[in-house]
């Protein structure tokens, strides 16, 4: 099963298929993988030893960044993620990024974000929409309307813990909503990246 895969010059870690959301733009709807990689649907949730073994065996030549992002929400397994991040920091010079929906406070309420300090170099958080109601339409989180504020709180919290924090939106929302997202992100002093909606899983732009 595919725990690690390469995509656009980066190494990706696919450590879970669990996710509390059903985003309208989710790549999982388009197919079983991204680019020419094997299926990202896991036979089972791999344990730490299995993940580290797969990391050691992967040819990392030319790869300088590890991104926790696969066919699921990586913070579903935040403790495993941090153990793997610790190993990667101890054994390589790679920088580490987490791509997350920012809902860890609902997913794992006991998670202490300060554990990410010195392990995680950057976090990309899916803003997805400018307000709780439209967030619900785009992201469809099982935690309902409070999800949006929880995600925003998480973003504000990690700003003082992780060196680089950024938001993303996918251009499935209206241009007016994208403008509102820009204003919101600016007000929070967090850069916003606008991603282009893709249906072929060949590229992210
Ligand atoms: S949070 Fe990520 S994995 Fe989950 S549905 Fe949205 S895009 Fe897909």
pLDDT tens series, the chain, 205 aa: 999 999 989 999 999 999 999 999 998 888 888 877 889 999 999 999 999 999 999 999 999 999 999 999 999 999 999 999 999 999 999 999 999 999 999 999 999 999 999 999 999 999 999 999 999 999 999 999 999 999 999 999 999 999 999 999 999 999 999 999 999 999 999 999 999 987 777 765 4
pLDDT value, residue 112: 97
Alpha-carbon span 76 to 72, nearest angstrom:
8
pLDDT value, residue 29: 86
Domains and CATH numbers, the chain: 4-195 (3.20.20.70)
Measured by CA distance, the residue closest to atom 5 of ligand 1 is: 22
Which of 28, 31, 34, 142 has most ligand 1 atoms within 8 Å of its beta carbon, as the pocket-test mutant? 28
pLDDT value, residue 201: 72
For 53, 77, 132, 185, the CA distances from 190, given in Å and listed in that order, are: 35, 25, 18, 5
Angle at 196 between CA 201 and CA 182, to 5 degrees: 145
Residues lining ligand 1, Cβ inside 6 A: 19, 21-23, 26, 28, 72-73, 101
pLDDT value, residue 203: 63
How much distance in Å is there from the Cα of 80 to the middle of ligand 1? 19
Q: What is the dihedral of CA 60, 37, 203, 128, to 10 degrees?
A: -90
């Amino acid at each position: 099963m595919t725990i690690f895969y390469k995509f656009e010059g980066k190494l990706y870690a696919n450590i879970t298929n669990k996710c509390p959301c059903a985003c309208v733009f989710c790549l999982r709807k388009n197919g079983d993988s991204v680019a020419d990689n094997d299926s990202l649907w896991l036979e089972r949730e791999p344990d730490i030893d299995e993940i580290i073994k797969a990391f050691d065996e992967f040819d990392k030549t030319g790869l300088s960044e590890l991104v926790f992002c696969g066919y699921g929400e990586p913070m579903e397994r935040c403790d495993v993620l941090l153990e793997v991040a610790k190993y990667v920091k101890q054994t390589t010079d790679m920088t580490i990024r987490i791509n997350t929906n920012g809902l860890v406070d609902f997913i794992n309420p006991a998670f202490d974000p300060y554990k990410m300090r010195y392990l995680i170099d950057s976090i990309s958080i899916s803003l997805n929409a400018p307000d709780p109601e439209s967030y619900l339409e785009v992201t469809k989180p099982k935690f309902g309307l409070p999800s949006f504020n929880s995600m925003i709180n998480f973003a504000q919290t990690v700003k003082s813990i992780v060196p680089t924090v950024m938001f993303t939106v996918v251009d499935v929302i209206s241009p007016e909503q994208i403008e509102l997202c820009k204003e919101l992100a600016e007000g929070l002093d967090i850069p916003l990246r606008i991603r282009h909606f893709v249906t072929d899983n060949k590229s992210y732009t």
